[in-house]
Amino acid sequence: MKEIEKEIAFISQFNEMIEIIHFGLVNNVPVILEGMLGQGKQLCINYTSELLSYEVVNIMISQSTKVEDLLGKNIITKDKNKNIKVILNETKLSKALKKQKDENQLSKELIFIFNNLNNASPAVLELLTSIFDKIQENALLSDRSTIPKNPINIIGILEPLNSANKDKLPPTLLYSSLYHIVLEPDEESICEIISKKLEKEEFKGKIIRLFDNYKNAKDIIEKKY
């Protein structure tokens, strides 16, 4: 934990994310973080999960992601007597929803991170909505069938690229979540982040002076033009 803290600049935006994620986990409320790349969303999730002894399960969502990719696929096999058997190759998500213990799972409680929510297809969004919604007792599959749903820890990440924002998400998914927009850090926070990255104390003063010169030059240019 101490090694992770050395790499973190605890600016106001980062501390606010910690509070929101912690609130969601304690109250079993799904959290959605909206923000551009490089704003520390994943770092904050990793830090908070380690602080609270959770295991993070990252799920990357692309435009080609299907419901079966999230909940598992049926595999057709034959036994010794050549009888056909259909076996469901379950995922960590499907096992968690059914409250089944994964043999490879650590003793820690899980947090499922759904990255790139804005890439989800309508079918995947429908599934995620049924998972995020605490009122629904079942998760809805693409064939309209359902599976019993055990409450799980959920964090969604949305990166507003190519006009993708929360308006693309179903209203029920939004209403079921604690939605937080991660603001870009101000100039003082950027200076603090840069200083944190510099391990040697003698370089910190130089970088602060360099940043002050940058701000002064920026002010002069803005006033002139």
Query: pLDDT tens-digit profile of 106-150?
Result: 567 899 999 999 899 998 998 899 899 888 888 776 566 777 788
Based on the domain organization, do 214 and 162 belong to the same domain? no
- Indicate if 114 and 211 belong to the same structural domain: no
Residue 5 counted as domain residue:
no
| CATH code for the domain in which residue 158 is found | 3.40.50.300
Output the pLDDT for position 180. 92
Task: Give residue-wise pLDDT tens across range 32-90.
Answer: 999 888 888 998 999 999 888 899 999 999 999 998 888 887 777 777 777 777 666 77
Give the strands of the sheet with 54-60, arranged side by side.
54-60, 109-115, 153-158, 31-34, 178-181
Question: What pLDDT is attached to residue 41?
Answer: 92
Q: Are residues 53 and 164 in the same domain?
A: yes
* Residue 51 and residue 126 in one domain: yes
**Is residue 64 domain-shared with residue 137, that is, in the same domain?**
yes
d(CA 31, CA 21): 7
Q: Are residues 175 and 123 in the same domain?
A: yes
Does one domain contain both 167 and 194?
no
Q: In whole numbers, what is the pLDDT of the chain averaged over residues?
A: 79
Q: Do 192 and 176 reside in the same domain of the chain?
A: no
Whether residues 198 and 106 fall in one domain: no
Residue-range definition of the domain harbouring residue 210? 187-224
Task: Report yes or no on 56 lying in a domain.
Answer: yes
Q: What domain count does the chain have?
A: 2
